[in-house]
Chain A
Amino acid sequence: MDIQSIPIKRLSTEESTTFDRRTIDYIQKAAAHGLYEIRGLGAKRALPHFDDLLFLAGSLSRYPLEGYREKCVTKTVLGTRYAKKPIELAIPITIAGMSFGALSANVKESLGRAATELGTTTTTGDGGMTPEERNSSKTLVYQCLPSRYGFNPNDLRRADAIEVVIGQGAKPGGGGMLLGQKVNPRVAKMRTLPQGVDQRSACRHPDWTGPDDLAIKIQELREITDWEKPIYVKVGATRVFNDVKLAVHAGADVVVVDGMQGGTAATQTCYIEHIGIPTLAAVRQAVDALEDLNMKGQVQLIVSGGIRSGADVAKALALGADAVAIGQGILVALGCNAETYVQDGVHHSALEGYEALGTAPGFCHHCHTGKCPVGVTTQDPVLEQRLQPDVGSKRVRNYLKTLNMELTTIARACGKQNVHHLEREDLVALTLEAAAMARVPLAGTDWIPGFQGR
C-alpha cells in the first residue's frame, strides 16, 4: 500500500495585540472618512466594576433575615440639607437624565409613567422639559445644563428638583451632541436651533466658571424657587474626591457622580473609552470626600454609570451611595438591542433595521443616527411608533421592580432591615484592582492593596 503524504499548508493566524482586527478597522475607517467615530451608549472596554465585588452574607457571625417575611426598608430621602421640600423615593433607584431629542416623546412618557408607579424620579435632559414627561412623572428632576436649551423659569418652578449638570461619565469635560438626523422640527424649536444642524452643546456653563461662581448660581436657582427644591450637582467621574468636595462647598443638596461606563446618545469614541474613571473607583472617592467633610447623610450621593442589576445597586449602596441612577439599563429594558419590537401585543422583527445600520442586536450603538430599529433613541415619526408607551412603561416598571427585589434579597441575606444599612464591611473583592479601588479586602484575605501602607 502506498502511503501518500498530504501536503500541509499552514495558515498564519497570529493576531497582533497592538494592531488587532478592531484597531485595523478603526484605522481604516479613519483613513476612509477623515472624521472621528461618534456613537452612542458607554465604554465597551473591560473595566473593574461591581462584578468584581461579592457580598459576605449572614452566617454564624452575623444572622440573615427571612427573604420574604421580614421587613426591608427601601425608602430614600434626597435633598435634606437646604430644600424645604426634599424628595422622598420609595426605592433607591432613579432614572438618569436623558434628553428629549436623544429619546422620543413616547419613551419620555414611558419613563415618567414607570417611575411614578414605582415611586421614583425621572430626569429631563439636554433639550428641555416636554409636557409628556412632566405630565407622566409625579416627581421630575429638571436639568440645568451648559447649553440651556429650552431652559426656562416656568419649567424650573414646575420641577420637583433641579440638577446642575457639570459633566457626564461618558464625556466629562465635553458638551452634548445631537446629529442633524435627530434635530427634527419639534426638537429644533425646543432648542432654538435651525432644523437638521449637527448640534454641538457648550461644555461649560455660559454664566459661571468655577466653584465659587457655582455657589452663587445655586443660590440664584434657590431664590427663584424660594428655597423649596433640592438642588443636585452632577459630575462626570474624573477628579472625584475634589469635585465632590467643591460641589458640597457650592451648596449642593445632592451630588450625582457618573462613572465612565455611563451612556451617551452621541459622543466621540475616543472620549467614551479614554476619558474618566470607572464607577467603582468613583463611588469610593465620592464617599471619601463626603466623610472627609463630615457631610455623609447631610448631602446625599447618587451614583450612576453601568448600573445594571439589583446586585449592582446593592454594591453601590454598600460602598456609601444613597441612591443610584440608571440610563442604559433602562433603554435596554425598553428594547434597546432586542431582536423585536412590539406593536399592540405582537412582536415584529427589527433585524432589517439593524442590518441597515450595519450592525446586529447585541452590538448596536447607533443611537446617534436616530434610526433606532426598536424606536427608543429616535425622532423619526415612523420608527418612534415602534415603542408604545404602554409597552415601554410596563417593561421599565418590571425592570425596576426586579432590581428592587434583588436589592432587598441581598440586603436581607446580609441581615439588614433597611437597604441603607448595607456597608463596606459586607463586601470583599475578587481582583486586586477592585480591592484597591473600592478599598475592600481581597476575598479570603484582610488585604486592601495600597491602604495603610500595605
Chain B
Amino acid sequence: MERLIAPLEFDLAQVPLHEMNRFLHRELAEGDTRTVTVLNPDGAHNIAVGLDHPVKVEVHGHAGYYAAGMNQKASVTIHGSAGTGVAENMMSGTVHVKGFASNGAGASAHGGLLVIDGDAGLRCGISLKGADIVVGGSVGSFSGFMAQAGRMVICGDAGDALGDSLYEAVIYLKGEAKSLGADAQFEPMTDADLHTLGELLSRAGLDHDPSAFRRIASARQLYHWNADANQEY
C-alpha cells in the first residue's frame, strides 16, 4: 500500500521523456490511481502519450506536440498551453488544457473528453470520431473538418469553414462563425441538444447558458457522389 499512495514525480529537466513514458506504460500496476506530476515540461513533445491506466497526470507548464496523444482511461491536466495535436486519437479518459491549444486539437479522437479553457488553433476536432471537445474560447478555421462522430462545443467564435464536410458529429457554437464549411448547416436546438450541451458544459466546469448556443450539423448532401447521377459510376 505504501507504494500505491507514494506520489510520483517526473522532472523532465532531469529524466528523459522516453523513460517517463515507458514507466507510465509498463510500471503502473492495474488499479493504480496515483497522481503523476510532471515538472519542467518546457514544451517537450509527446508527453504522456499512449497511456492506458486510470492515472491522473498533472503537467506543470507548457506541452509541445501530441500531449496525451492516443490517451486511454487517464486524466491528464496541462497547467499551461499545449502544442499541435493535443489528445489526438484519444480513445477514453479526460484531457484538460488550462491554457491555449494549437492546431489539430483532439484530431481523430474516438472517445473521452478534451477540455480547452482558452482558444484552440486551426482544425480543432478534425476527423473527430466520437470524442467530446469543449473549448472555452474560440477556434481557428477548418475546425470540425470531416468530423464523423462526437460533439464539439465552442463557447467563443469560430474561423472560416466550420464543420466542413461533416459526417455525423454535432457542433454547438455560442459566438459567430466566420463561415460554415461545405455541407454544414445551422439547425434548431432540440431539448436533447440543450440537455447534452448542459451536461458537457458542466463536465468541463464552464458556466454558460445552453440556450445561447446554436447547433451545426451535416446537411448530408455530400454523402453520395452526385445525387443526380444515375449511380452507374
A and B interact: yes
- Chain A 219-232 interface 0/1 with B at a Cβ cutoff of 8 Å (1 = within): 11001111100000
- Chain A 6-38 interface 0/1 with B at a Cβ cutoff of 8 Å (1 = within): 000000000000000000000000000111011
**Residues from chain A with Cβ under 8 Å of B49 in the complex:** 220, 223-224
- Chain B 52-91 interface 0/1 with A at a Cβ cutoff of 8 Å (1 = within): 1000000000001110011010000000000011001101
- Asked if B108 lies at the interface with its beta carbon under 8 angstroms from chain A, I say yes
- Chain B 29-61 interface 0/1 with A at a Cβ cutoff of 8 Å (1 = within): 000000000000000011001101000000000
Q: Which of B126-134, B151-159, B188-196 contacts A (4 or more CB under 8 A)?
A: B126-134
- Asked if A58 lies at the interface with its beta carbon under 8 angstroms from chain B, I say no
Closest Cβ of chain B: how far from A192's Cβ, in Å?
4
Tell me the chain B residues, 97-127 only, with Cβ under 8 Å from chain A: 103-104, 107-108, 110, 123, 126-127
- Asked if B5 lies at the interface with its beta carbon under 8 angstroms from chain A, I say no
Q: Are A223 and B72 in contact (CB under 8 A)?
A: no
- Docked Cα-Cα span, A192 to B111, in Å, equals 12
- Docked Cα-Cα span, A216 to B88, in Å, equals 13
- Asked if B141 lies at the interface with its beta carbon under 8 angstroms from chain A, I say no
**Residues from chain A with Cβ under 8 Å of B70 in the complex:** 152-153, 156, 224
Tell me the chain A residues, 154-172 only, with Cβ under 8 Å from chain B: 154, 156-157
Tell me the chain A residues, 196-224 only, with Cβ under 8 Å from chain B: 197-198, 200, 202, 206-208, 213, 216-217, 219-220, 223-224
Closest Cβ of chain B: how far from A114's Cβ, in Å?
31
Tell me the chain B residues, 207-229 only, with Cβ under 8 Å from chain A: 222-226, 228-229
Query: Which one of B26, B107, B145, B167 lies within 8 Å of A226 (CB-CB)?
Result: B26
Q: Are A223 and B225 in contact (CB under 8 A)?
A: no
* Main secondary structure on B side of the interface with A: loop
**Residues from chain A with Cβ under 8 Å of B229 in the complex:** 33-35
- Asked if A143 lies at the interface with its beta carbon under 8 angstroms from chain B, I say no
Query: Which one of B25, B85, B222, B232 lies within 8 Å of A33 (CB-CB)?
Result: B232
Supposing A152-B70, A220-B65 touch, asked if A207 and B107 sit within 8 A by C-beta, the answer is: yes
Tell me the chain B residues, 155-175 only, with Cβ under 8 Å from chain A: 165, 167-168
- Docked Cα-Cα span, A224 to B88, in Å, equals 13
Chain A residue nearest to B105 (CB atoms) is A207
- Asked if B149 lies at the interface with its beta carbon under 8 angstroms from chain A, I say yes
**Residues from chain A with Cβ under 8 Å of B85 in the complex:** 207-208, 217
- Asked if A241 lies at the interface with its beta carbon under 8 angstroms from chain B, I say no
Supposing A34-B228, A217-B66, A225-B50 touch, asked if A208 and B18 sit within 8 A by C-beta, the answer is: no
Closest Cβ of chain A: how far from B60's Cβ, in Å?
20
Q: Are A207 and B104 in contact (CB under 8 A)?
A: yes
Closest Cβ of chain B: how far from A92's Cβ, in Å?
32
**Residues from chain A with Cβ under 8 Å of B84 in the complex:** 207-208, 213, 216
- Docked Cα-Cα span, A154 to B92, in Å, equals 12
Q: Are A35 and B127 in contact (CB under 8 A)?
A: no
Closest Cβ of chain A: how far from B62's Cβ, in Å?
15
Query: Which one of B52, B89, B225 lies within 8 Å of A148 (CB-CB)?
Result: B89
Query: Which one of A152, A153, A206, A219 lies within 8 Å of B104 (CB-CB)?
Result: A206
Q: Are B223 and A194 in contact (CB under 8 A)?
A: yes
- Asked if A271 lies at the interface with its beta carbon under 8 angstroms from chain B, I say no
- Asked if A332 lies at the interface with its beta carbon under 8 angstroms from chain B, I say no
- Asked if A179 lies at the interface with its beta carbon under 8 angstroms from chain B, I say yes
Chain B residue nearest to A157 (CB atoms) is B50
- Asked if A119 lies at the interface with its beta carbon under 8 angstroms from chain B, I say no
Closest Cβ of chain B: how far from A178's Cβ, in Å?
12
Closest Cβ of chain A: how far from B78's Cβ, in Å?
16
- Docked Cα-Cα span, A147 to B110, in Å, equals 12
- Asked if B17 lies at the interface with its beta carbon under 8 angstroms from chain A, I say yes
- Docked Cα-Cα span, A308 to B108, in Å, equals 36
**Residues from chain B with Cβ under 8 Å of A207 in the complex:** 66, 84-85, 88-89, 103-104, 107-108, 126
Chain B residue nearest to A219 (CB atoms) is B46
- Asked if A180 lies at the interface with its beta carbon under 8 angstroms from chain B, I say yes
Chain B residue nearest to A202 (CB atoms) is B146
- Asked if A110 lies at the interface with its beta carbon under 8 angstroms from chain B, I say no
Chain B residue nearest to A153 (CB atoms) is B70
Query: Which one of A192, A220, A223 lies within 8 Å of B129 (CB-CB)?
Result: A192
Q: Are B224 and A148 in contact (CB under 8 A)?
A: no
**Residues from chain B with Cβ under 8 Å of A192 in the complex:** 110, 129-130, 148-149, 167
Q: Are B65 and A198 in contact (CB under 8 A)?
A: no
Query: Which one of B69, B123, B223 lies within 8 Å of A198 (CB-CB)?
Result: B223
**Residues from chain A with Cβ under 8 Å of B127 in the complex:** 147-148, 202, 206
Chain A residue nearest to B47 (CB atoms) is A223
**Residues from chain A with Cβ under 8 Å of B89 in the complex:** 148, 151-153, 207
- Asked if A134 lies at the interface with its beta carbon under 8 angstroms from chain B, I say no
- Docked Cα-Cα span, A82 to B62, in Å, equals 28
- Docked Cα-Cα span, A282 to B104, in Å, equals 32
Supposing A148-B108, A156-B70, A207-B85 touch, asked if A223 and B46 sit within 8 A by C-beta, the answer is: yes
Chain A residue nearest to B20 (CB atoms) is A223
**Residues from chain A with Cβ under 8 Å of B18 in the complex:** 223, 226-227
**Residues from chain A with Cβ under 8 Å of B66 in the complex:** 207, 216-217, 220
Give the most central of B52, B89, B229: most A CB within 10 Å: B89
Q: Are B22 and A152 in contact (CB under 8 A)?
A: no
Q: Are A152 and B69 in contact (CB under 8 A)?
A: no
- Docked Cα-Cα span, A226 to B46, in Å, equals 12
- Asked if B185 lies at the interface with its beta carbon under 8 angstroms from chain A, I say no
**Residues from chain A with Cβ under 8 Å of B123 in the complex:** 206
**Residues from chain A with Cβ under 8 Å of B130 in the complex:** 192
- Docked Cα-Cα span, A369 to B225, in Å, equals 13
- Docked Cα-Cα span, A369 to B233, in Å, equals 8
Q: Are A193 and B167 in contact (CB under 8 A)?
A: yes
Q: Supply 30 A–B pairs (Cβ within 8 Å), ascending by A.
A: A35-B233, A38-B233, A147-B127, A148-B89, A153-B70, A153-B72, A154-B72, A179-B225, A179-B233, A192-B110, A192-B129, A193-B167, A198-B223, A202-B145, A206-B107, A206-B108, A206-B123, A207-B89, A207-B108, A216-B65, A216-B66, A217-B65, A217-B85, A220-B49, A220-B66, A224-B21, A224-B49, A224-B50, A226-B21, A227-B18
Q: A191-B148, A206-B88, A223-B18 are in contact. List 18 more A-B contacts (CB 8 A).
A: A34-B226, A35-B226, A148-B89, A151-B89, A152-B110, A154-B72, A156-B50, A192-B129, A192-B167, A194-B168, A197-B167, A198-B224, A207-B84, A207-B85, A216-B64, A216-B65, A224-B25, A368-B233
